[in-house]
Structure 1
Amino acid sequence: MSIKPTPVARPQRVCYNGGQHQLLLREERMTYATERLFWNNPYLIEFEAQVMGRITHEGKPAVILDRTCFYPTSGGQPHDTGTLSGARVIDVLELDGDIVHILDTMPVEEHVTGEVDWPRRQDHMQQHAGQHLLSACFDRLLGAATLSFHMGVQECTIDLDLAALNDEQAAQVEEYANRVVMSDTGITTRQYRPEEVALLDLRKPPVVEGLVRVVSIGDIDHSPCGGTHPSSSGQIGPIHIDHWERHQNGVRVAFLCGLRAVRDHVAQSRICHALAAQASVGVSDLPEAFQRLSAATEELRHQVRSLQEERVALLSASLLSEAEPIGTGRLVSRVLENAEPGEMRALAQRLVEQPGMVALLAVGGPAVQFCLARAKDVAVNMNAILALAKQYGARGGGPPHFVQGGGLQASMLQNLFQDARKLLQQSLSVETRGDAQG
């Protein structure tokens, strides 16, 4: 069930230096071809408007209205979605002061009714205001300026002018931001003349000339911004710094706000409790249990490697004793049962340490993997045998002395071995050892 918010009416005032500024006269306010209703009331999601223009944008129908509640993509905040008289609004962008609504179908009416998707709008309001607050906290506590902001579908990121960030610093910033959230500090917007902007303690300089729209979170942050924001910090909801990484010459911080943070917490909590139940420990004991499991796993890996090495040594000795003479060399050809490809490669390498040895090994399965190897003194290019394998649908490659491949059907393996024997018999009956290449 969707919940539609009611418009929130409250004074839009910002105080600084002990003074209170009067509202700008109407003719002094920022004006555009399309009236931006979302600036006056971001909670307004239903409206009526006149169609001022109909265009085609990148092959899709689009309209320009005299007024709109739909926010266009700008300032790191994605566009709103919703409907216009039954047509689905799939994109919103700004072109020369006009707001262009990209639709799935063109409405026939000249007077249209619009409805903004509230869950998406609310999410964007929470993320954008949360970014303002988080950036202000990084600036206040660490002196780290925000260089850029990106609002993604899953998470948001800010790029900080900061050499490094540690766990303790991130926790301090996160707690500071959430204390401001819990204080339910008012968030206000106002337009300022250039001479007034110079008196404000802005966190970042404006990028527009003339009147500047400033979003203020109490006396904590004042930032030029054209986005949509809630009317108080409490409506941002919880703020969670998820992770961070080095990015170019600074730090990129990923964070979640509002319902995103709540849903992430619920998902992570379920995962932790499921793992704890599987490990028969409490959630707080999971790190220690994981360390024990990692240590035990590494010990098992060490034991497996030792057993594999022993198995390779025993199997190598057995296969060498069964090697068949072929021309001036000896040949081992075998399909290995219950062996991993890594064991096969290790066995081939061990076999061809012996002079005059050629090894044709494979591990079974629906699609066979194979290894074709020869000793350094054997003058045969193993890619010649690979060419035979490719005739049966195999693929692979490698240097002349050691070729690996796969994709060969098991039913074709014996045919390959027979063809390889013929090729080796011809090559080794006329070639001599010591002039091998590779």
Structure 2
Amino acid sequence: MIDMSKLLYREDAFCEKWETEVDNTYEKDGLYYVSLKETAFYPGGGGQPADRGTIADLEVKAIESKDAVPYYGLESRIKGKVECRIEWDYRFDLMQQHTGQHLLSAAFRLVLDRPTIGFHLGQEAVTIDVSGDKLTEAELQLTEQKVNELIYDNRQISSYYVTAAQLAELPVVKQPSVTEDVRIVEIDGVEYNPCGGTHVLSTGQIGLIKILKTEKQKQGQRVYFLCGKRALETTRNMFSIVEKAADQFQTNSQEVLDRIQKQAADLQAAVKRAEELEARLEELELQELIQTETPIVARSYEGKNVKALQRMAAKLLEAGKEFVILSDAGERKLVLTHQLNEFHSGNLFRTSLSEFGGKGGGSAQMAQASFQQTEDLERYVRFLQEHYRSIV
């Protein structure tokens, strides 16, 4: 088993590259797994993903533990002395997010007396679950202000191991599952947290913490946030979006929200008016079709969805029409409904549509179909008209 002193990431989280020797190896699923006499690769755990990097210029494809020793999956067999390298940008991002989580959780305890009951560090989102009911905007702002003030203080962050007796004297955030050789991550004047992950050296290296949103969970509230480079990039992107929106409305960033809200209200009013006009137009179209003397109706439209076609077809049946074919040429959709005895629309569609490049089906009284080509739709309308004339 590797001694604790050989886990370099616990001694120096800023160890980016090192030389060591391959200790043991085995083959599994097409990869050659090796253990190292010294390793700075964090294997993952406690909500923090595993590190990325290379061993002898070979990418680490997988990490797994065997007898409490980390093994690294490579595509080629290696032995002897090797140079190892951490993918540093990825590692430092994880360090910022993980340390930021410690600090944000501390801020929620200090400001609102809300403990953290869950943590997730993903590629896109970082979240903590805090106990209690819905967080107000004022509470979030106070907590965000507090956590960033702790960053500005640039408080020292240190890690060390304690005995069971020493652990009993510390006001730790949570009690660990073991009591001997517990690793404590201490944020000076803020908290003592049992944790095996990698962290920055001071709160100032977190850079920035931005709370994004919250959502309800079964046992509390989930808080989405970003730290460091992620927070900077997201803030930059959001500012760019606001500036582009302001340019679109020919205003400044402070007034863009008012312009968007006004446009949304105008659009909603326009949609309502369009719906009213569409309903009135539909009434006129129905009146025109009802007044025709033939029992069959075949009409094509532009801009009517299937629900509108079905609604119109049903009203035409109520008005006494016997066989109704309505279609939309633009969408290449068709609806058929009828009042004929011993005629099944769905069966006809299932047995005939493939010859016209169409797909669809339905019930005995009403069926619908769609077509790839407008010409196929038009041919099928003619087919249905001829079929009607053949059975009446």
| Category of TM-score, reference length = shorter chain | over 0.9
Given the alignment of the two structures, is residue 164 of structure 1 paired with residue 134 of structure 2, yes or no?
A: yes
Per-residue displacement from partner, 1:80-105 (whole Å, max 9, x unpaired)? 11111111123334333211112233
Q: Which residue of 2 aligns with 1:383?
A: 346
Given the alignment of the two structures, is residue 66 of structure 1 paired with residue 37 of structure 2, yes or no?
A: yes
**SS of alignment partner, residue 18 of structure 2:** strand
CA distance in 1, matches of 2:61, 2:34: 12
Aligned pairs (5 A) from 1:45-60: 45-60=16-31
Q: Which residue of 2 aligns with 1:268?
A: 238
- What TM-score comes out, normalization by structure 2 length? 0.93
Q: Which residue of 1 aligns with 2:202?
A: 232
Given the alignment of the two structures, is residue 148 of structure 1 paired with residue 98 of structure 2, yes or no?
A: no
CA distance in 1, matches of 2:381, 2:228: 65
Q: Which residue of 2 aligns with 1:396?
A: 360
Of residues 202-211 and 387-396 in structure 1, the stretch that sits farther from structure 2 once superposed is 387-396
Aligned pairs (5 A) from 1:235-384: 235-322=205-292, 324=294, 330-365=295-330, 368-374=332-338, 380-384=343-347
Q: Of 26, 39, 42, which residue of structure 1 is paired with 2:13?
A: 42
AA at the equivalent of 1:119 = D
Q: Of 155, 167, 171, which residue of structure 2 is paired with 1:201?
A: 171
Q: Deviation of residue 390 (structure 1)?
A: 4.3
User: Are the aligned partners of 1:127 and 1:151 in contact in 2 as well (CA < 8 Å)?
Assistant: yes
Q: Which ranges in structure 2 are unaligned for 5 or more consecutive residues?
A: none
Q: Which residue of 2 aligns with 1:22?
A: none
Per-residue displacement from partner, 1:261-318 (whole Å, max 9, x unpaired)? 0000000000001001111222122222122111100111011111111211121222
CA distance in 2, matches of 1:284, 1:95: 57
Aligned residue pairs total: 391
Shift in CA distance, 396/115, structure 1 to aligned 2, threshold 3 Å: same
AA at the equivalent of 2:319 = Q
CA distance in 2, matches of 1:282, 1:274: 10
Structure 1 segments of 4+ aligned residues over 6 angstroms from their partners: none
**SS of alignment partner, residue 183 of structure 2:** strand
Per-residue displacement from partner, 1:21-45 (whole Å, max 9, x unpaired)? xxxxxxxxx9637811011111111
Per-residue displacement from partner, 1:129-182 (whole Å, max 9, x unpaired)? 000011111122222222221111112111222222121111111111000001
User: Are the aligned partners of 2:134 and 2:221 in contact in 1 as well (CA < 8 Å)?
Assistant: yes
User: Are the aligned partners of 1:34 and 1:98 in contact in 2 as well (CA < 8 Å)?
Assistant: no
**Could you say what the CA RMSD is over the residues aligned between the two structures, in angstroms?**
2.2
- What TM-score comes out, normalization by structure 1 length? 0.83
CA distance in 2, matches of 1:198, 1:236: 29
Shift in CA distance, 288/266, structure 1 to aligned 2, threshold 3 Å: same
Structure in which a larger fraction of residues adopt helix: 2
CA distance in 2, matches of 1:126, 1:276: 33
Q: Which ranges in structure 1 are unaligned for 5 or more consecutive residues?
A: 1-29, 325-329, 430-438
CA distance in 2, matches of 1:187, 1:33: 20
**SS of alignment partner, residue 267 of structure 1:** helix
CA distance in 1, matches of 2:303, 2:181: 76
Shift in CA distance, 250/401, structure 1 to aligned 2, threshold 3 Å: farther
Query: Sequence identity of aligned pairs in percent?
Result: 27
Q: Deviation of residue 341 (structure 1)?
A: 4.4
Shift in CA distance, 397/141, structure 1 to aligned 2, threshold 3 Å: farther
User: Are the aligned partners of 1:34 and 1:66 in contact in 2 as well (CA < 8 Å)?
Assistant: no
